[in-house]
Structure 1
Amino acid sequence: MAAQRSGDFGVGRVRVVLVDDERLVRTALRVILGAEPDMEVVGEAATGAEAVSVAWRERPDVVLMDVRMPDVDGIRATERLLATLEEPPKVIVVTTFENDSYVYDALRAGAAGFLLKRAAAGELVGAVRLVARGDSLLFPEAVRALAAAHARERRSGALRARLTPREAEVLRLMAEGLNNAEIAARLGVGNQTVKSHVAAVLSALGARDRTQAVIAAYENGFVTPG
């Protein structure tokens, strides 16, 4: 029987799987997360293929995924997890360089965000909690730089036609890295109204989460780096 997921953040502990081909890195991550009363490391993997197998068995809430690994890399592993699990975990890719093309491909594949391996312990813990409650890890400056380097099509008109004026405004603010409360304050509306607009934006763009929506905005020229 598969392990029961914690589901709603705040009920039970956040179940985490660590994926990295370096045992020392996994050990360090386990020590940091294991010290938190609301987190539990339920599995480890050294390759992308192992990551998929462990995730299927343990059904974690969050997977910390190295992007550069032998066998199946973090990008393919992320794609497989999101495509094959009915309730896939949130994936945070872990990388050495923020402008790594692997990071961009992982975000496009559906990862909720990324962390640098030099991140402080507090940043790591905060990131896991953030995605566990359903938010995305957006780093606007890094996403802008990655989008500029990997832009594919510039069809701002086509994307704009799929959004109402208010939804377009919300998407621009999302691209700035604002969360729902900050967008609500900027627009002078309620949080629930913003939540509805964000859901409509994701639906219109066919995006899994805020990260994919922002990437689509940059790739289509709806917003531009700089």
Structure 2
Amino acid sequence: MKKILTLLTILIATTLFLSACGDEKEPTADTTPTESQDNTGEDSATEEPVEDTEKGTDSTQEDDSNTGEDSATSKNDLNINTKDQLDLKIGDTGKFDTTIGQFEITLDNAKLITDGLDGEVSQLDDLILLDITIKNTSGKTMLLEEILQSTVVKDDLESTGTSNGAEYFDSVEELKGEIADGEEISGQFITDVYESEEYYLAQESGAIAAGTTNQVIWTIPVSEIQ
């Protein structure tokens, strides 16, 4: 009987000891992962927004600097400062400011030729012959061919226009060669034109778009042409 009581006492004590050990281990297993998760959440919440904000600031500054560098070329960048003159008539003088130099052109007279000249006929409808005077104001010697290279006659300001063809006519006083600073030289400009109520002596649209010259336009009504 004593042995049975002793065994029961030992079993009860062992059971109580094991229960006590089990209760102490469970809280440790529950709290350790929770603390690790809390720390991980706090780190990601504080660090990631700061990095995003810094990146956004840097990209904004780079965009601003690029915008400043991509500026378009203007007339002032090419030192073209003389104002456009868009309403000149026969007898008026136009002042040119170009990348090759400064000069003046006076339209002295205009003549419409309908039946050809020197055995040459117009490839369009008529020929227009202009008497002009060129004055070099650039401070250096220039070539007359370069001065007139972008000058055209148009029957419509939106059209391309036709350039000087004086070299193809024996009786036309061609403007060619050098012109010294301050020198004035008179000559003639001839080209093909369509039949129209008025014509315009002007600069090529491409030269204006490129900003290599200011625009100077003479309006030539047919009623004022000889």
Shorter-chain TM-score category?
under 0.3
- Which structure dedicates a bigger proportion of its chain to strand? 2
TM-score (norm 1): 0.22
TM-score (norm 2): 0.22
- Which structure dedicates a bigger proportion of its chain to helix? 1
Which structure has more relative contact order (CA 8 Å, sep 6+)? It is 2
